Amino acid sequence: MSTLRVNPTRMELSRIKRRLVTAKRGHKLLKDKRDEMVRQFIGFIKENRALRMKVDTELGVALKGFALSRAVMDNQAVEEAVMYPARQAKIEIGKRNILSVHVPTIKVDEDSLQEPILPYGMATTSAELDDAIARLAKVLPDLIRLAEIEKTCNLLADEIEKTRRRVNALEYVMIPQFESTVRVITMKLDENERGSQTRLMKVKDMIAERNEG
């Protein structure tokens, strides 16, 4: 394992030890953050899957209704019917914080959904077209919620990947490097201390011999 290029002094040893403690603490915090984000991400994925299945089913039925309406109505009549101004759904866009990840929130004004669904008279349209438009209006809140969840999943997935790389960098590079550097400096300091003791003992023996002579 590679070590940091530092002078083998006690001051550097203390500094590297402090960095090692900080790195281990940061590793634990990032790992806990990653695990919690993964837990919440799985929950959003499950909700996204259930909601998408529901939306796909409703949209499939609505599109089938449009196809049937074209079979019993004139194409121009269908186009004129769907070109009428329909109700406007009022939405409020904001954001919230999930473990330092800013994700969007999209809320639908329920009062705006209480307006009449069909923007045209039913005298010249088929029941299939009426049902298709009603289904599209009904599925609108689910579509908006699905958009919110999918964007949240994308943002969380990106942050999970970034956090995973940081965790791996600390776990497999920085922390082992700090630990290796601490061992090397400690060994060199111990070696220097043993050398100093040996020299002191030799000097002491030389002084003792000189006194005896």
3-state secondary structure of 93: strand
Contact assessment for residue 167 and residue 175, using Cβ atoms and an 8 Å cutoff: no
Return the minimum-mean-pLDDT range out of 17-31, 58-72, 104-118, 125-139: 104-118
CA dist list (Å): 8 to 188, 197, 211: 7, 18, 37
Bridge partners (DSSP) listed for residue 50: none
Predicted confidence (pLDDT) at residue 116 exceeds the cutoff of 60: no
| Residues 145/52, Cβ–Cβ less than 8 Å | no
Q: Answer whether 56's CB lies under 8 Å from 74's CB.
A: no
Q: Distance between CA atoms of 52 and 212, rounded to whole angstroms?
A: 98
Helix 75-83 vs helix 10-72: crossing angle, to nearest 10? 130
Instruction: Return the sign of the alpha-carbon dihedral for residues 171, 172, 178, 183.
Output: positive
Rounded Cα–Cα distance for residues 177 and 16 (Å)? 10
Rounded to whole angstroms, the Cα distance separating 78 from 115 reads 22
Report residue 35 as tokens. Answer: 């695990």
81-104: pLDDT as tens digits: 677 666 677 888 999 999 889 999
Domains, the chain, in order of start with CATH, read 10-208 (1.10.287.3240)
CA 136/CA 133 separation, integer angstroms: 5
149-198 per-position pLDDT tens digit: 999 999 999 999 999 999 999 999 999 999 999 998 888 888 877 777 77
- The pLDDT assigned to 131 comes to 82
Q: Name the range with the highest mean pLDDT among 102-116, 132-146, 183-197.
A: 132-146
Place of tokens 């995973």: 164
Closest CA to 70 of 62, 82, 78: 78
pLDDT digits (tens, 9 = 90+) for 35-57: 999 999 999 999 999 999 999 99
Per the DSSP assignment, residues forming a β-bridge with 104 are: 95
- The residue with tokens 């003792």 is 208
Q: Which range has the worst mean pLDDT, 28-32, 49-53, 74-78, 159-163?
A: 74-78
pTM: predicted TM-score of the whole model, two decimal places:
0.77
Q: What is the Rg, in whole angstroms, of the alpha carbon atoms belonging to the chain?
A: 35
